[in-house]
Chain A
Amino acid sequence: MAKTIAEINEKIKAGKAVVFTAEEIISVVQEKGIKQAAQEVDVVTTGTFGIMCSSGAYFNIGHAKPRIKLGGGRVYLNDVQAYAGLAAVDLFLGAGALPDDDPRNRVHPGEFNYGGGHVIEELVAGKDVRLSATAYGTDCYPRKRLETWLNIKDLNQATLFNIRNVYQNYNVAVNTSDKTIYTYMGILKPKMGNANYSSAGQLSPLFNDPYYKTIGIGTRIFLGGGTGLIAWHGTQHNPDVPRTDKGIPKEGAGTLAVIGDMKQMSPKWLVGTSVLGYGASLTVGVGVPIPILSEEILQYTTVTDEDIFAPVIDYSDAFPQLKPDILGEVSYAELKSGKIKVKGKEVPTASRSSYARAVEIAAILKNWINNSKFFLTEPVEPLPGIESGVTFRKLNERPIED
């Protein structure tokens, strides 16, 4: 019965592909059984919508007249510094970049109301962004100053390039200390007053293809409201972690680097984000289609929140001190019930990623496929798997003797 991606694309073209979201497929397989469902179903769509700090974008703004070489100079977009260590008019802007005069955490916790993620959101919203740059001037690029409005429609390239997104599983954060702490996992009240988690669980892309059998480099995806591609495995990709019997990683594991044309994207799916006491970031919407090429692949997509476990980590000590200690393991079904038990204590939970928006992304992707607007791609190379030797190392910190 094994299908190929080319066959599925033929069905998509004819408007006959059978598509379910990763949430819907659970009951479909329960009703029909794996054999029949694998014959009938062509694609399962996944989605996630969360704060993804290692996101950014690069731009080519076009040459000014007379010319200016921004490379080696200083460039600001709405007062947020962009990286200009490139050629004359190429820039990279990271989601966590901040204006020079942002007070950061000088008054703790800092608010981080505006940063690179917000500039990205404003650009995709079609708003003008103020560029201000200084350069050193050369014979061929004589100008030393540039102040101008930029609009995404005038840029040669505006390309979202996120080097780590879509984490396959994530920590549940608590705080065992006596005072409130402000972390990238949110505000954590003292003495385990709350627990925060950040994954779409059963809808999240890499939980539905835990061994990366279909998701690979070159897979076409929903990215920020437009389409994009998986460019590479993400930074900190770490496939060889403890897994459940069903192959689900029990801690952070695989990650994706993704790329796409920002001109297609929308501010609904790329949201500038402020993390109290931590920094500025970008909330990113990603959806990945999974071609149902075999019963085995379909079986993986039936993963439920009961099957997925995450480690509970103390962000007042174990996390900052890079200790391996965990306080326990809880399932996403427990997390979504609103409370978990940690060391005998009942702790209320909250999500950092939006499950409601993840559902919407999976539905949009399904809709695109049903309407023959989105076709699947054959990965050009698989993501590094558990046998690849790709791991997540600590820094080998070596003191420098003077």
Chain B
Amino acid sequence: MAVTKRIVLRFPKRMVDRPIIYKLVKDYDLEFNILKASITPEQEGVMVLELKGNQAEYDKGIEFLLKGGVQIQSLGQDVIRNEDRCTHCGACVTVCPTKAFITDTKTRMITFDNTKCIACGLCIPACPPRAMEVHF
């Protein structure tokens, strides 16, 4: 299955001079589109990237980045909840790795905090009424 995702990469100082993106292409066959980049030798780097490729390879590529110490964040505003479809069941709550879904203890409604969202996409197929959507 092909995927296209937009992510924000934060490189620690020690990684700025390494050919990270080259590795994504060569080892994981990912197509990239640099949307924004600010990388200066000897300083922290930030890059906004659109990655396209096979889901399994994409996952491996992300794992490679994380292992190397790259922090990954998504463009949270691109992941939205279709309020008409959400039933507030809670199926997303433990699936989300960053705890972006919280059950209100009083109303038992599920709130979505998209500032915590890293657009990993796990909630999208996990949502039974398919209320979570990614828009790039």
Query: Which residues of A does B touch, CB under 8 Å?
Result: 49-51, 107, 109, 111, 113, 186-187, 189, 193-196, 271-276, 281, 283, 336, 338, 348-357, 359
Contact = CB atoms under 8 A, between A and B. Distances in A.
A348 B96 CA distance: 12
A357 B86 CA distance: 10
Given A107-B1, A354-B89, A356-B88, A194 B94 contact: yes
Tell me if B's interface is mostly helix, strand, loop or mixed.
loop
B91 A352 contact: yes
Nearest to A112: B125
B108 interface: yes
A336 B105 CA distance: 8
10 contacts: A49-B89, A271-B87, A274-B130, A336-B108, A350-B94, A352-B91, A354-B87, A354-B108, A355-B88, A355-B108
Contact of B108 (A51, A196, A276, A356): A356
B87 A357 contact: yes
B38 interface: no
A214 to B, nearest CB: 26
A200 B1 CA distance: 36
B90 A283 contact: no
Interface of B: 1, 85, 87-95, 103, 107-110, 125-126, 128-130
- Most chain A C-beta atoms within 10 Å of own C-beta, residue among B89, B108, B125: B89
B129 A359 contact: no
Given A107-B1, A356-B107, A350 B125 contact: no
A283 B125 contact: no
Contacts of A194: 94-95
Contact of B90 (A189, A193, A275, A354): A354
B89 A353 contact: yes
Contacts of A354: 87-90, 108
A49 B87 contact: yes
B89 A352 contact: yes
Contacts of A274: 125, 128-130
Contacts of A281: 128
A336 B104 CA distance: 10
Given A349-B94, A356-B109, 12 more contacts: A111-B125, A189-B94, A274-B125, A274-B130, A283-B87, A283-B129, A348-B93, A350-B93, A351-B90, A351-B91, A354-B88, A357-B89
A353 B89 CA distance: 5
B89 A351 contact: yes
Given A275-B128, A355-B108, A338 B91 contact: no
A338 B87 contact: no
A352 B1 contact: no
A317 to B, nearest CB: 20
B128 A273 contact: yes
A75 B125 CA distance: 29
- Interface-centre pick from B85, B91, B103, B128 (highest chain A CB count, 10 A): B128
Contacts of A352: 89-91, 128
A359 to B, nearest CB: 7
A359 B108 contact: yes
Q: Which has the most chain A C-beta neighbours within 10 Å: B91, B107, B108, B130?
A: B91
A275 B1 CA distance: 18
Given A283-B128, A359-B108, A187 B89 contact: no
A273 B89 CA distance: 12
A133 B6 CA distance: 44
A356 B125 CA distance: 22
